[in-house]
């Protein structure tokens, strides 16, 4: 006479299988899709505030790409009528893939009085 498998055993087996599939999906999503794609550093100003050194422009550098950038040079510029008033630079050692880094640029002039722009000057492959 054959014994039937209890329903609780089937439920536990299905739950275990679902957990294994979920873990495999998460691990698979972490595998880079295109290793040759360059980093994509996106800059966003978070705040401009007065400070003892003059004015501090706080910003975020996001890299949604699948490759890491090292030695990332970022420049901030203040311009008036197409004329450069002041420039400031900062360097991030690393901006890993899928990450966000925060930094700040110091200016002696009030950025609210000029056109503020941020740009990435360059990076190295680690």
Token pair, residue 3, equals: 């014994």
**Would you give the end-to-end CA distance of the chain in angstroms?**
66
Q: What DSSP designation does 38 have?
A: P
Predicted confidence (pLDDT) at residue 62 exceeds the cutoff of 90: yes
| Residue entry with tokens 């490759």 | 67
Q: 3-class DSSP state for residue 6?
A: coil
Domains of the chain: 42-124 (2.60.40.1620)
Q: What DSSP designation does 23 have?
A: H
CA distance 46 to 21: 39
Kindly indicate the confidence band of residue 36, based on its pLDDT and cuts at 50, 70 and 90: confident
Name the nearest CA neighbour of 60 among 106, 118, 20: 118
Q: What DSSP designation does 111 have?
A: G
Q: Which residues pair with 61 in a beta bridge?
A: 43, 101
CA distance 107 to 77: 9
Instruction: Give tens-digit pLDDT for 11-28.
Output: 988 999 999 999 988 887
**Residue 8 has what pLDDT?**
87
**Residue 79 has what pLDDT?**
98
Average pLDDT over residues 116-126: 95
Q: What is the pTM of this model?
A: 0.71
**Residue 68 has what pLDDT?**
93
Average pLDDT score, the chain = 92
């Amino acid at each position: 006479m054959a014994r039937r498998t209890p329903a609780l055993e089937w439920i536990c087996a299905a739950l275990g299988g679902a957990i294994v599939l979920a873990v495999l999906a998460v691990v698979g999503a972490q595998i880079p899709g295109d290793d040759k794609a360059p980093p994509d550093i996106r800059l966003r100003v978070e705040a401009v505030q007065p400070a003892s050194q003059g004015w501090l422009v706080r910003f975020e550098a996001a890299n949604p790409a699948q490759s890491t950038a090292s030695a990332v040079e970022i420049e901030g510029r203040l311009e008036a009528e197409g004329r450069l008033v002041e420039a400031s630079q900062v360097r991030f050692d690393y901006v890993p893939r899928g990450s966000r880094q925060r930094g700040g640029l110091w200016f002696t002039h009030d950025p609210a009085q000029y056109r503020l722009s941020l740009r990435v000057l360059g990076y190295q492959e680690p």
